[in-house]
Structure 1
Amino acid sequence: MAIGTLTPPASQDDIHETLLEFPDNRLLIDLCGEFDRNLAQVEHGLGVQIFRKGNHLAVIGEGEARGQAAAVLQQLYTRLEAGRSVDAGDIDGLLRLGASPDETGSRSGDQMEMFNAGALEIKTRKKTVEPRTEAQKAYVRALFEHELAFGIGPAGTGKTYLAVAVGVSMFIGGHVDRIILSRPAVEAGERLGFLPGDMKDKVDPYMQPLYDALNDFLPAKQLAKLIEEKKIEIAPLAFMRGRTLSNAFVVLDEAQNATTMQMKMFLTRLGEGSRMVITGDRSQVDLPRGVQSGLQDAERLLGAISDISFSYFTAKDVVRHPLVAKIIQAYDADATS
């Protein structure tokens, strides 16, 4: 892929054009995306203009932004050459790695190459998942390297999604015999007793995010069979009492809504050959006033134990709609003002 830089007339000294050549026209079409939406995402993210000229893309803008846009397009094209797809999340991940140093730290070529190489791919039956930010990469490494790991941060940062993906990957690989996913059944405005149906009907809505994640990674028929065979269990935290969870990948989601005693009970379920992941968001505690969050206590009591990993996320790690990150930042700013 050839790169050239053209300098416009002197009246536009601050605006230059970088010309990128992409030899495979079919891959270039995939790079641009339907109705050039991939190019539009890069333009919007970096404040540049991108025009297609045959098998070239012309990137027009100021120096640093233009260079970042060119690097992002090159990396996306390399992904396509390797037979991998490109979607909005992939572009967002590269834009984050290409952000200014004062926002996300250094943005070396090694970082971009590591992202593109998929060094931390998580393979499941339906899709391959890869972390998109440095915090997510560190988190995924911790999930593979530690028997007990915490993921703490705001909504949309991939804490639960990546944990379930790693669990499915380890289950498929034969490293664990089963997957156990749990959440505290704490009301956020409603009362369980007033919901219709039996206990399963009342509890299932609280477990739905876990079902959603599993449906992303396993075919529906296989998932239903594994649940029926108890190879995959999804249950409220209260159902964990008295059990020893051996040879299992265990995830406790929404752990900020576990009490101190519930957290201690859950952590002491860890058995031989198991891995345990606790995820939570300290800003979304739904416990009654005056009840201490077990997640906060666990941080305080277990933070010094070297065998336990703590991974932290911020609004910069949000991989949902870009507005989610802005909403979180607005609430965080208000809380500290």
Structure 2
Amino acid sequence: MAVKTLYFPNPRHLNQLYASRAENLGYAERILDAKLTTREDWLKVDGADETIRRIEQLFGFLNDARQQGVAIQSPDFRRFVDMVARDEAEQLAELFAKPLVITTNRKSIVPKTLGQKLYLQSLQHCSVVFGLGPAGTGKTYLAVAHAISALLRNEVERIILTRPAVEAGEALGFLPGDLREKILPYLRPLYDAMADMMSGEDVEKLTERGIIEIAPLAYMRGRTLSNAYVILDEAQNTTSEQMMMFLTRLGEGSRMIITGDTTQVDLPRSKTSGLLEVSRILHDIDGIAFHEFSGADVVRHPIVQRIIAAYDHYKNPMNANDASDV
């Protein structure tokens, strides 16, 4: 056993690194097999040499996150601890080595939370990415931004946006208008995200030329989607069969992002959500990433974080400490 003391600029600086919660240090002790003692501006680490090295890594990465503007909350801290415990230090080092920026016609988009940074990192490296979490975390917005950026860099030839039209049972024929008008209410959030990054005229032109395609999930059946960026939004409302159908559309040179909130399933009780099922089936497949956002990643009005935390606490009383963080 060895002992090492880490020093920080001031007590406030150190407290910010573990969200000012003693239970977070307790979590690090359990997961990394260390004994941690803190007073004022120092943190004493008791443990094996390897344990001390990991704790130093952990607080080094936390400090990097703080310097890049991330306000560390309990879910962030625990995510860092888990990644260090899984020997994913290289991934964390890459995450903070250089700024992650998405460039589009209208703006440059920088991830605002640790969860968004990790999500964007997954989008850069994996062919299929699942973004799971509550409303307001940026999972759909960042997916659309990344797709548009890839199109502008000529990395893909087209963008395909799709969503299950659960409320209409995918039987859209009775609605007035052409296909685009029928499905517009279900795909409005995707249009809104695009409008923030491209002019309405550009979106219209690219849609008319088929470079941006917007269609309900039912219209994906039987196709092979090549050289495309394909986004499936509201995926919690896909059935098991629809999810498998969609994933097997992936063609050469394509990427898929599947986003959804597993607490907002609108399917009939007799139907299993394909999004809930797929994480159990594909979790260990190379080239596929599952990213889970938490209430700490919400970037809407601050009260939205507190609403999500309160609901989470109501459903999971054991998460009471996390609820009070936001």
TM-score, reference length from structure 2: 0.68
What is the aligned-residue identity percentage? 52
Deviation at 1:202, TM superposition (A): 3.0
Match of 2:237 among 254, 257, 277: 257
Deviation at 1:297, TM superposition (A): 1.4
Could you tell me how far apart the structure 1 residues matched to 2:177 and 2:305 are? 36
Tell me the amino acid that sits aligned with residue 196 of structure 2.
Answer: D
Does residue 331 in structure 1 map to residue 306 in structure 2?
no
Does residue 96 in structure 1 map to residue 76 in structure 2?
no
**Residue pair 1:97, 1:104 contacting (<8 A) in 2 also:** no
**Residue pair 2:76, 2:115 contacting (<8 A) in 1 also:** no
Does residue 162 in structure 1 map to residue 137 in structure 2?
no
Deviation at 1:219, TM superposition (A): 1.8
> Which structure 1 segments of 5+ residues have no match?
1-13, 17-45, 47-62, 65-70, 76-92, 107-112
**Residue pair 2:95, 2:117 contacting (<8 A) in 1 also:** no
Deviations 1:191-238 (A, max 9, x none): 967765454333211100000011111122211110100000111101
Residue 260 of structure 2 aligns with which residue?
280
Could you tell me how far apart the structure 1 residues matched to 2:309 and 2:74 are? 17
Deviation at 1:306, TM superposition (A): 2.2
Question: How many equivalent pairs are there?
Answer: 252
Distance 1:158 1:277, change over 3 A: same
The SS at the match of 2:314 is: helix
Could you tell me how far apart the structure 2 residues matched to 1:287 and 1:311 are? 23
Does residue 296 in structure 1 map to residue 271 in structure 2?
no
Deviation at 1:188, TM superposition (A): 9.0
Does residue 144 in structure 1 map to residue 119 in structure 2?
no
TM-score, reference length from structure 1: 0.66
Deviations 1:128-163 (A, max 9, x none): 011111111111111111111111111111111111
Could you tell me how far apart the structure 2 residues matched to 1:301 and 1:222 are? 39
Structure number with larger C-alpha Rg: 1
Match of 1:234 among 205, 214, 238: 214
Residue 158 of structure 2 aligns with which residue?
178
Deviations 1:281-335 (A, max 9, x none): 1000000112000011111110111221111110000111111111111111112
**Residue pair 2:235, 2:259 contacting (<8 A) in 1 also:** yes
Deviation at 1:336, TM superposition (A): 2.0
Could you tell me how far apart the structure 1 residues matched to 2:111 and 2:294 are? 15
**Residue pair 1:126, 1:217 contacting (<8 A) in 2 also:** yes
The SS at the match of 1:181 is: strand
Residue 106 of structure 2 aligns with which residue?
126
Could you tell me how far apart the structure 1 residues matched to 2:209 and 2:223 are? 18
For the aligned residue pairs, the C-alpha RMSD in angstroms reads 3.5
**Residue pair 1:120, 1:137 contacting (<8 A) in 2 also:** yes
Distance 1:99 1:265, change over 3 A: closer
Q: Which stretch of structure 1 is more off in the superposition, 180-189 or 260-269?
A: 180-189
Deviation at 1:98, TM superposition (A): 8.0
Tell me the amino acid that sits aligned with residue 187 of structure 1.
Answer: E
Distance 1:175 1:195, change over 3 A: same
Tell me the amino acid that sits aligned with residue 266 of structure 2.
Answer: D
Deviations 1:153-199 (A, max 9, x none): 1111111111111111111001100001110001199x967765454
Residue 318 of structure 1 aligns with which residue?
298
Q: Which has the higher contact order (CA 8 A, sep 6+)?
A: 2
**Residue pair 1:151, 1:277 contacting (<8 A) in 2 also:** yes
**Residue pair 1:188, 1:286 contacting (<8 A) in 2 also:** no
